[in-house]
Chain A
Amino acid sequence: MKSDIILAGVGGQGILSIAAVVGMAALENHLYLKQAEVHGMSQRGGAVQSHLRISEQEIASDLIPEGSADLIISVEPMESLRYLPWLSENGWLVTNTTPFVNISDYPDMKELLAEIEKLPHQIALNADEMARQVKSPRSSNMIMLGAASPFLDVPYQSLENGIKKIFGRKGERVVQLNIEALTAGRDFSEAHKK
């Protein structure tokens, strides 16, 4: 078993928290993990991505080769397309549809969604709106992780346990809200995956 995942977004959108939860889940299942992330200048509102690899076998490269990622999880719609060269033929793209507009030439939303819909295996959801519905506006990244969870080779319960470990310091309420967000994302994908 192996999952090669690209996490995509804009600096400050919380993709490293997604990586941390998946990392905890991988540890719990005694899987190998490598996760390459972006620090420094790019984090100031720039495009950021993380290569996350989990496997039963020891992992060689910190970077995923082109055309071989099983999954792209993006917390922003345009950023989901930036890493298409890495996605494998059978890979899934799971993306938030709420745009993060901090550039003047941000593309037209309709065109963006049309590009995403062209892909054979994709889930697009408005995670920001869903996060508001579960009364946890800052948990849209956990909605996205939940939405990606059916395509991840780790038990769902381990992701919940990961949330407990990562957010435990912030109190029971924060943990509960993030787990609710995870569940909401999960339910959406189960209903929409073809």
Chain B
Amino acid sequence: MEKLLLLGAEAIAQGAIDGGMSGVYAYPGTPSTEITEYIQHNKIALERKLHSQWSANEKTAMEAGLGMSYAGKRTMICMKHVGLNVAADAFINSAITGVNGGLVVTVADDPSMHSSQNEQDSRFFGKFAMIPILEPANQQEAYDMAYEAFELSEKLKIPVMIRITTRLSHSRAGVETRPLKNENKLTYPEDPIQFVLLPSNARKRYKGLLGLQSLMEQESERSSFNTFYPARNKSLGIIACGIAFNYLMENYQDRKFTNPVLQLGQYPLPFAKVEKLVSECEQVLVLEDGYPLVEEMLKGYLDKNSKIKGRLDGTIPRDGELNPDIVAKALGKEVKVGMKVPDIVANRPPELCSGCSHRDIYNALNETMLEFGKQKVFSDIGCYTLGALPPWNSINSCVDMGASITMAKGAADAGVHPAIAVIGDSTFTHSGMTALLDAVVENTPITVIISDNGTTGMTGGQASHATGRLEEICIGLGVKPDHVKVLTPLPKFHDEMVKVLREEMLYEGVSVIIPRRECIVQMVAKNKKDQKAKVEEVAQ
């Protein structure tokens, strides 16, 4: 078989394609974006015309994926951990409806918050939904799990979750591929009422889901992703989940474990294997990237089994991602201490690109706010969140996708005036539209700035659902056309921008200001492409 050099995210994409997937549904979010981007450019995916366009948000992605599965086809839905919160309603219910074609929900968590608001561990959501979870240790397993997950899903007629973390998603290694499978044919669910979650039916389905749990455990027990490595030294046994297994191995020369190790890659927990390890070892160290899910389950609440070590007793730090050094310390091994970073090394935080349109609107906004006072600007998630940092210090909130508009509304309801929301074009269509409707219904005096750069900038320039339809959406939601103002955010129009901002802030109703200029990164990339096309044209 072919060997490819792939990011963990790309390995999942390739595994899903080779595993007979008919479509992916996703909203871009670091560290999950590269899964869908890979499928968008993959030759087989293009030949097979697999669905790979972005969805408006994670909830619509989850629901569309469920629809494809309803029709018998294999589907993957991808998101980052916080995106699963958005999709949670459909996600939890998909475990009750069950699936027809294999359905795999791949969620990329971000311990250490490299580019996220929180560290939440999606395995909890998988457990909450009571479905099997697969957690790869390396790029090869990421491929293999994606390849095999559809079959597991179809065998149990239940969605399957794949959980990865940033480190694996964004790390590259060699991956062996497997034979390309055919796509499923169109079929309908065997039980015609299965997807109708009326209470009477949902109760029946829920009992069915509960009844499946022991079967899921059996699958887990015999899964090749859950491996027990026996060893002589029983003073400490180790459970290593997902990528933690790599950090563990890094600490054993020649991969020869001196202590019994259970490598965990499939949940629910394989009861017999876990019990064997816990009963034969004096102490058990649990290594898991993210929250102490397995550790909590083993420790119990009142029992507080003191032989279980991990994040809860401080053997491992409670927050942040794992690494080989943290694992070495937990094993009581000596850890090298490197040189110190010289004091003169300064922090270099990310910043808005030079020439970015968000800079110009923040400059205008800052000047306008001199008149209206501080702490009245609610913002959102995207490149423009960097406006919270110096030299702008322009914004006062960033909570979740779409929260800027609703928070401004709540603040206005409380008496804050003017209450301003700053949101990007892609985030607006992700979760801002319903928020704007709330404000329109009550004609709440808020000023919404949709900083429109025509793309999803922070995640690398994916298509934005708002492009070409932003004014229509706002007017359609009920914003008065006189109060939908389009600006060109350039330094030469600074005074005009301040004037319009000021006027709209004084208006006692909903106004939307759309500063529109193409993302500078996208523009440069496009110009390069055009130039290259011209050169090639001349050459011909």
By a beta-carbon cutoff of 8 Å, the part of chain A in contact with chain B is 10-11, 19, 23, 27, 32-47, 51, 58-68, 78-79, 81-82, 84-88, 102-103, 105-108, 111-112, 115
List the B side residues contacting A63 at CB < 8 Å.
167, 247, 323-324
Known contacts A44-B458, A60-B250, A84-B341; 18 additional CB pairs below 8 A are A10-B348, A37-B171, A39-B460, A44-B383, A45-B350, A60-B246, A61-B246, A61-B324, A65-B335, A67-B337, A67-B338, A78-B344, A81-B342, A85-B337, A85-B340, A103-B348, A103-B349, A115-B344
A43-B350, A45-B351, A66-B325 as given contacts; A35 in contact with B339, CB under 8 Å: no
Most buried by B among A23, A44, A51: A44
Would A46 and B338 count as touching, CB distance under 8 A?
Answer: no
- A107 touching B338 in the complex, CB below 8 Å, given contacts A59-B173, A62-B167, A62-B171: no
**Cα–Cα, bound, A94→B172 (Å):** 23
Chain B nearest Cβ from A138, distance in angstroms: 12
Query: What is the chain A residue whose CB lies nearest that of B254?
Result: A57
Q: Which residue of the partner chain, among B170, B246, B341, B352, contacts A44 with CB atoms under 8 Å?
A: B352
User: How many Å lie between the Cα of A66 and that of B250 in the bound state?
Assistant: 12
* Smallest CB-CB A-B distances: 3 pairs: A67-B336, A40-B30, A46-B350
Instruction: Give 19 pairs: A residue, B residue, CB < 8 Å, sorted on A.
Output: A11-B350, A27-B5, A33-B173, A36-B167, A37-B172, A38-B170, A40-B114, A40-B115, A42-B115, A44-B386, A58-B255, A61-B247, A61-B323, A63-B167, A67-B337, A67-B339, A78-B345, A81-B342, A85-B341
**Interface presence of B410 (CB below 8 A):** no
Is there an interface contact between A61 and B338, defined as CB atoms closer than 8 Å? no
For B31, what are the chain A residues with a Cβ–Cβ distance below 8 Å? 39-40
Check if A84 sits within 8 Å of B339, measured CB to CB: yes
B residues with CB within 8 A of A: 5, 30-31, 33-34, 114-115, 167-168, 170-174, 243, 246-247, 249-250, 255, 323-325, 328, 335-342, 344-353, 383, 386, 458-460
**B348–A46 contact, CB under 8 A?**
yes
CA gap between A87 and B336 in the complex, in Å: 10
Are A23 and B5 interface neighbours, CB within 8 A? yes
Task: Specify which chain A residues have a CB less than 8 angstroms from the CB of B383 in the assembled complex.
Answer: 44
CA gap between A38 and B115 in the complex, in Å: 10
Are A81 and B345 interface neighbours, CB within 8 A?
yes
CB distance from B406 to the nearest CB of A (A): 23
Residues on B with C-beta less than 8 A from A85 are 337-341
Cα of A68 to Cα of B325 in the assembled complex, Å: 11
Q: Nearest chain B CB to A120's CB is how many angstroms away?
A: 11
Residues of A near B247 (CB, < 8 A) are 60-61, 63
Q: How far is the CA of A102 from the CA of B350 in the complex (A)?
A: 10
Q: How many A-B residue pairs have CB under 8 A?
A: 153
Residues of A within 8 A of B324 (CB): 60-61, 63-65
**Hey, which chain A residues are within 8 Å of B350, CB to CB?**
11, 41-46
Query: A107 contacts B34, CB within 8 Å?
Result: no
Q: Are B336 and A62 in contact (CB under 8 A)?
A: no
A65/B323 in contact, CB under 8 A:
yes
Instruction: Decide if B335 touches A66 in the complex (CB within 8 Å).
Output: yes
Residues of A within 8 A of B336 (CB): 65-68, 88
- Please give the distance in Å from B306's CB to the nearest CB on chain A: 29
Chain A residues closer than 8 Å to B34, beta-carbon distance: 39
CB pair B346–A103 under 8 Å, yes or no, is: yes
- For the complex formed, measure the closest distance between the CB of A11 and the CB atoms of chain B, giving whole angstroms: 7
Residue on B nearest A34 in the bound complex, by CB: B173
Partner of A34, one of B171, B345, B348: B171
Determine how close the nearest CB of chain B comes to the CB of A5; give it in whole angstroms. Answer: 13
Contact in complex: A86, B338 (CB < 8 Å): yes
Return chain A residues, CB-CB under 8 Å to B5: 23, 27, 33
Please give, as numbers and ranges, the residues of chain A lying within 8 Å of B246 by CB-CB distance.
60-62
Q: Which residues in B have their C-beta under 8 angstroms from that of A105?
A: 346
**Among A35, A47, A61, A88, which residue has the most Cβ atoms of chain B within 10 A?**
A61
CA distance A27 to B4 in the complex (A): 10
Supposing A10-B348, A40-B458, A61-B249 touch, asked if A35 and B171 sit within 8 A by C-beta, the answer is: yes
Residues of chain A with a CB closer than 8 A to B168's CB: 62
Within the complex, what minimum Cβ distance (angstroms) separates B30 from chain A?
3
Is there contact, CB below 8 Å, between B30 and A65?
no
Contacts of A34 in B (CB 8 A): 171-173
Query: In whole angstroms, what is the CA distance A144 to B345 when docked?
Result: 21
Q: Which of B337, B342, B458, B460 contacts A115 (CB 8 A)?
A: B342
CB-CB under 8 A from B352, the residues of chain A are 44
Q: Which residue of B lies closest to A85 (CB)?
A: B338
Query: In the complex, what's the smallest C-beta–C-beta distance from A125 to chain B, in angstroms?
Result: 20
Q: Is the CB of B172 within 8 A of A111?
A: no
CB neighbours (8 Å) of A39 from chain B are: 30-31, 33-34, 115, 170, 460
Across-interface contacts of B339 in A (CB, < 8 A) = 67, 84-85, 87
A42 to B324, CA, bound (A): 23
**CB <8 Å contact, A66 and B338:** yes
Q: Write the nearest CB–CB distance from B404 to chain A, whole angstroms.
A: 18
User: Looking across the interface, which residue of chain B has its beta carbon closest to that of A41?
Assistant: B115
B348 CB contacts on chain A under 8 angstroms: 10, 45-47, 78-79, 102-103
Residues in chain A near residue B174, CB distance under 8 A: 27, 32-33
Q: A115 to B345, alpha carbons, bound, how many Å?
A: 10
Provide the residues of chain B in CB contact with A58, threshold 8 Å. Answer: 255
Bound CA–CA A67/B337 (angstroms): 6
In the complex, A66→B342 CA distance in Å?
Answer: 16
A103–B346 alpha-carbon span in the complex (Å):
9
Cα–Cα distance between A102 and B348 once the two chains are bound (Å) = 8
Instruction: Tell me which of A23, A36, A46, A51 has the highest count of chain B C-beta atoms within 10 A of its own C-beta.
Output: A36
A41 near B458 (CB under 8 angstroms)?
Answer: yes
Chain B residues with Cβ below 8 Å from A106 are: 346
Using Cβ atoms and an 8 Å threshold, which residues of chain A touch B459? 40
- Distance in angstroms from A156 CB to nearest chain B CB is 21
Q: What CA separation (Å) do A160 and B364 show in the bound complex?
A: 50
User: With a CB–CB cut-off of 8 A, which chain A residues contact B460?
Assistant: 39
Among A23, A37, A45, A60, which residue has its beta carbon within 8 angstroms of that of B170?
Answer: A37
